[in-house]
Amino acid sequence: MPIHHALDFVELSGYGSAAMGGHNRIRFIKDLDMEIAGRDVLIVDEVVDTGLTLNYLCRALALRNPESLAAVALFDRPYRRLVDDLPIRYVGFTVPDEFFAGYGFDVGERWRNLPDLHLVREV
């Protein structure tokens, strides 16, 4: 990026399932190390499906008074969305409800190390 920027990471954990009679719950495993008040914040996510996790993160970060808050996703599955009004400003690809592996994506902890993306036909 040819602009002055900083990079930080969060780690979230989702647990529970509406399908199992519970609720989808999300919690921070690792929070930001830097303050974001008054800063433009861009959340980078690999896949947005239901939007529950991204919505949780956006709401939590919005309480910290950033100047702006937006998201970018490599893959988007808007037909699976359970949450409206997500601030997804940039999308790489809208993809079908299929498994992809490689380039950091795994299926059952396999194939993450492949140098490019592959559609996994059978799991």
To the query of whether residue 49 is one of the catalytic residues in this protein, the response is yes
C-alpha to C-alpha distance for 51 and 42, rounded to whole angstroms? 16
Q: Could you tell me if 62 and 88 are in contact, meaning their C-beta atoms sit under 8 angstroms apart? A: no
Under 8 Å between Cβ of 56 and 87: no
Structure tokens at 94: 């809208």
Dig out the tokens for 51 from the structure: 């939007």
Catalytic residue (one of 49, 84, 97, 106): 49
- Apex CA 100: angle with CA 104 and CA 102, to 5°? 30
Interatomic CA distance for residues 57 and 51, integer angstroms: 10
The catalytic residue positions are 49
